[in-house]
Structure 1
């Protein structure tokens, strides 16, 4: 049974029909595949922006040059 601990001794049932075990396959390979799928969605998110350098190191230097010491 899925519960949410509200206080030290008070538990509230979130979903009494929910199974105790997760439905999603949770092997190392499955977790790695889910993580890679999420990373691929955001990879290159700024790649087509003309206002920032394509080189990540150059972009960091540009940002840090604006910091006041």
Structure 2
């Protein structure tokens, strides 16, 4: 398992948290949003996903990965 923390712009409420965490969970990726820090900590299987794919999942929810 790989672990990475991604800085994301536009996270402002619990709806944002649920949107991102839910989208990751649909792909069997463990993600935890830190609302105050504006980050997403992700644990993922590098044999199934790469970092660009993780970022794309987040951006598809309407947020900007920095």
- Scaled to the shorter chain, the TM-score interval is under 0.3
Higher RCO (Cα < 8 Å, 6 or more apart) = 2
Q: Which has the higher strand share?
A: 2
TM-score, normalised to structure 1, is 0.26
Tell me the TM-score normalized by structure 2: 0.28
Rg: which structure is higher? 1
